[in-house]
Amino acid sequence: MFKIQYYFRVLIMSMLVRKLPLSVREFLFYLVCLIASGFKLIEHIFIFAYVLAMIAFLSGGWLIIYLLS
């Protein structure tokens, strides 16, 4: 579980660095994912956040923002 969290944080940080001009919604979404992984909430929530982050990473973030809006 620790390795998954480590790779998840690396993924989020690389996304934040790669896409510096983030919209506020995107930044809040990534921040919530990071907090959820850091505080070790229910494992299902963590996995759900991880899957959403992967989808956002693969689609450039716009798909998730469209779904959440």
Instruction: Please list, residue by residue across 30-41, b when 16 or more beta carbons sit within 10 angstroms of its beta carbon and e when fewer do.
Output: beebbebbeeee
- What does the pLDDT read at residue 42? 52
Return d(Cα 51, Cα 63) in angstroms, integer. 13
**Per-residue pLDDT reduced to its tens digit, 15-57:** 666 655 556 666 667 677 667 666 655 555 666 777 777 766 7
CA distance 27 to 31: 6
Contact between residue 33 and residue 53 where contact means Cβ atoms under 8 Å apart: yes
Contacts of 26 (CB under 8 A, 6+ apart): 19, 56, 61, 64, 65
Full-model pTM: 0.29
Domain range annotation of the chain:
2-68
| Digit-coded pLDDT (tens) for 50-66 | 777 776 676 665 655 56
